Amino acid sequence: MLQVAQIRTDKDKAVKGLVKRNVANPEKLIDELISLDDDRKELQTQLDAVLAESNQIAKSIGALMQQGKKQEAEQVKLKTSELKQQSKALQDELQQKEKLLLDSLYQIPNIPHADVKEGKGADDNELILEHGQKPVLHPGNTPHWDLIKKYDIIDFDLGVKISGAGFPVYKGKGARLQRAMLNFFLDEAEKQGFKEIQPPILINEASGIGTGQLPDKEGQMYHDESTDLYLIPTAEVPVTNIYRDVILDEQELPVKLAAYTPCFRKEAGSWGAHVRGLNRLHQFDKVEIVQIHHPDNSYKALEEMSTYVQGLLKKLELPYRVLRLCGGDMGFTSAMTYDMEVWSAAQERWLEVSSVSNFETYQSNRLKLRYKDADNKKHLLHTLNGSALAFPRILAAILENNQTEKGIHIPEVLRPYAGFEWID
């Protein structure tokens, strides 16, 4: 979440940032937030004064008793009792005001970086680069949802039988390709200095709040009310929360972590051809990379993460493009996001397969994730994360782009992991 002190220091920057995100009445929103903080400060001042007076009077009681002034001491005790009631009322009011302030902060998205363009949605995103040649397929080529039936490698009907729509069953070479991608992505992450983590896939409410999934995406997450636990939408959540309430030494930076997990999303409201087959699922697999950086180095790290993900796509021989998202298309917690999209030849459309984002201090402020500098002063860190990579759309593009009249040719880099060259 945003820091009130920063908003006060540069209110104009906050308002302009929210305008980029198409937030309604941003100036009014910021003014209301500052007003709540003013009220909180005033209540805190009143409470501090009452507590100070109470402490001073309490000390005088003993002196009066020693002087034999029992009656005066009793009168002072009555005053102390009144002050205690007053302080209790002020504490209750202060807690309510602090909760209102916190709830208001939770509703305000991150301020976009200065390089992020204004825009309302995906059509306004900025094309950074495009790499690779789009394949020309043989006559009679088909999209992946037909290919998986032809070669019997993924079964959506079985998934419906077992769970429901959006939960595919991978079979034979389809399952082995999943395992091949998993091992390839993790091995590549290790080569780049990411430490592998195997986190829980159920999180508590504090973890969801810490990285910003709650309360913003509550309706998109699977929730077990009996335990108040949530299935993770991405490994970013449990991995980043490893460092909740942690103070790092500056020498420990950067922290670089990678994790494979299944991911779960309700995808409420999704419909149409763009969600067919593997394009959008309720359960899917993904390798996530997470970094924790000194604020001075986080944007260099973001560019390196983008380059790293592009390197994976090159090794998979997939045509791709990189977009920098506009203010209206970015995630709630992000200050800057790059999307990587691969070309799906049979569908003749781009499919998003990775997002890499810098959250600056938005998550770390919620997480209370800080570092100590050489002078032992504490500062908030910057957090980053990215998909490296999400499996379903990568698999869809591999199947479609590499289909031939003979069968489907597997990218060379995956063959040692999969144990086969062709699906036929």
The verdict on whether residue 74 carries a ligand-binding annotation is no
The verdict on whether residue 265 carries a ligand-binding annotation is yes
The verdict on whether residue 315 carries a ligand-binding annotation is no
The verdict on whether residue 142 carries a ligand-binding annotation is no
The verdict on whether residue 266 carries a ligand-binding annotation is yes
The verdict on whether residue 353 carries a ligand-binding annotation is yes
Packing angle between helix 173-191 and helix 391-401, nearest 10 degrees?
Answer: 120
The verdict on whether residue 225 carries a ligand-binding annotation is no
The verdict on whether residue 352 carries a ligand-binding annotation is yes
For 46, counting Cβ atoms within 10 Å of its Cβ (0-12 exposed, 13-18 middle, 19+ buried), the class is middle
The verdict on whether residue 270 carries a ligand-binding annotation is no
Parallel, antiparallel or unpaired: strands 378-380 and 382-390: unpaired
DSSP state of 410: P
Is the separation of the CB atoms in 351 and 339 below 8 Å?
no
Is the separation of the CB atoms in 403 and 137 below 8 Å?
yes
Parallel, antiparallel or unpaired: strands 255-264 and 195-197: parallel
Closest alpha carbon to 110 in 220, 34, 216, 240: 216
Query: Beta partners for 290?
Result: 257, 385
The verdict on whether residue 354 carries a ligand-binding annotation is yes
Tokens of 29: 């929103």
Say how far apart CA 210 and CA 207 lie, in whole Å: 5
Annotated binding site: 234, 265-267, 288, 352-355, 385
Task: Enumerate the known binding-site residues for ATP.
Answer: 265-267, 352-355
In the annotated binding site for L-serine, the residues are: 234, 265, 288, 385
